[in-house]
Amino acid sequence: MRLWALALLLGALRTGGAPAPARNVLLLLADDGGFESGAYNNSAIRTPNLDALAQRSVVFQNAFTSVSSCSPSRASILTGLPQHQNGMYGLHQDVHHFNSFDSVRSLPRLLSQARVRTGIIGKKHVGPEAVYPFDFAYTEENSSVLQVGRNITRIKALVRRFLQSQDERPFFLYVAFHDPHRCGHSQPQYGAFCEKFGNGESGMGWIPDWKPQLYHPEQVQVPHFVPDTPAARADLAAQYTTIGRMDQGIGLVLEELRHAGFLNSTLVIYTSDNGIPFPSGRTNLYRSGTAEPLLISSPEHTERWGQVSQAFATLLDLTPTILDWFSIPYPSYSIFGTKRVQLTGKSLLPALESEQPWDTAFSSQSHHEVTMYYPMRAVQHQQFRLIHNLNYKMPFPIDQDFYISPTFQDLLNRTRAGQPTHWNKTLHQYYYRDRWELFDCSRDPTESQNLAPDPHYAAVFQLLRAQLLKWQWDTGDPWVCAPDAVLEEKLSPPCRPLHNEL
């Protein structure tokens, strides 16, 4: 048993009259991570630290991101507001330059106002700084993202520095790993997933705390939405190596928490920002692009440790959960005009005590890269998923990072040559989608059969469409009337038809 895990178990069994320590939060975020762990029944990969954490967590089987894109997802995590409400419509960096609205009250800002110390180590990828301030920050804004996001020895040292502070306030520490994000577009010398970075080979640098685990393509488990080809398998094998690096980093972070004496007073959350960077994964609102791992370990809720929850959770729930943990109320304020902002997420703390009946999750996407305008809105209710593709007459866009990946290049080459792709759809089907897509994920886990036109599912379609529309109105979605009407809020009804033949 890992030292940090043993300490957490012993601490939970202790009794005594000592006053309860201040509550803290540690948020661990993977970058484009999926279900590649033993905790989620992947027996092909070795993730001992995630597996040990899962034994002391509630393991959520129906957790979803609210948007399958990096900056928008991180902004949603740190605000509790979907991307169309907080303003982070797409990626934050470089030419994309998306930012949240200046008046948004983010989680780090609210925590700081409530005298909670805040820290971020790793990939931040959101802005502006005034909306997302942290007391302690080592990110791509002041460091190499490889060093603060993938070098687990450096991450360990920064966590130690944060925890050794003499500041006695409770803390929120956000460790945002850059693994297992692709790096073929940004740092191709380190491999498709930066799997060679720090491995000790010539020119690769050395991460002292990392013991690289290599995988053969035939060993990996290929998700049903990924082509089962040698190229994709080799891609997944490289991804596994970087997930192993992150897993070892998680073990180091938790050991630092234990060594500093905070393990038994800290709520630990592990999840990922969006789907894996493969076909039908990241940038898609299919279940394959939005389903996320979610482990929540509370030292105060040991009765459900190691249990699996079927309750629906979304990353929009993390801000309400963390505020609830610290007993901090959400403020009454408006972003524009007089309409008050209301969180549509919920605290997940009740699920740490008993199973909850939650069965609905919403998603909203507008951009990824600035050129990738393909707005989508989606709702998953019980086993049914409804997706509204607003820009459905245009081909689905492909991001630069994914385009040069071995998996996609192989898919392109096979399609051009008329060879079997070993995929569950064609490129044409992937590019060109119906306006409405409805899937029964229990009977059709590959999301291959669109039930939206089927009259037998008309009642289900209308129910989910009404749920989605209400959520869009509740969250002030500027796209609520699109694509066949324009929003005119001062008129009644506010959605004015365009007669544009859609």
Active-site positions read 70
Distance CA 160, CA 164 (A): 6
From 56, 39, 1, 26, select the one nearest 243 (Cα to Cα): 39
Tokens 């009804």 — which residue? 493
Structure tokens that stand for 455 in this block = 């009259």
Distance CA 28, CA 250 (A): 8
- 3-class secondary structure per residue, 362-400: EEEECCCCCCCCCCEEEEEECCEEEEEECCCCCCCCCCH
Chain centroid, CA 495 distance in Å: 32
Distance CA 485, CA 491 (A): 13
Structure tokens that stand for 241 in this block = 């190596």
Cβ-contact 243, 179 below 8 angstroms? yes
Cβ-contact 242, 34 below 8 angstroms? no
* Residue 352 CB partners (closer than 8 Å, separation 6+): 58, 296, 298, 301, 304
What is the identity of the amino acid at 447?
E
Cβ-contact 330, 323 below 8 angstroms? yes
Tokens 């004015």 — which residue? 496
Cβ-contact 34, 239 below 8 angstroms? no
Is the four-CA dihedral 121, 93, 320, 467 of positive or negative sign? Answer: negative
What is the identity of the amino acid at 269?
I
Is the four-CA dihedral 410, 415, 419, 420 of positive or negative sign? Answer: positive
501, with CB counted inside 10 A (0-12, 13-18, 19+), is exposed
Distance CA 172, CA 489 (A): 39
Strands 171-176 and 360-365, how do they pair?
A: unpaired
Tokens 């491995």 — which residue? 199
Distance CA 25, CA 328 (A): 13
Structure tokens that stand for 164 in this block = 């050794």
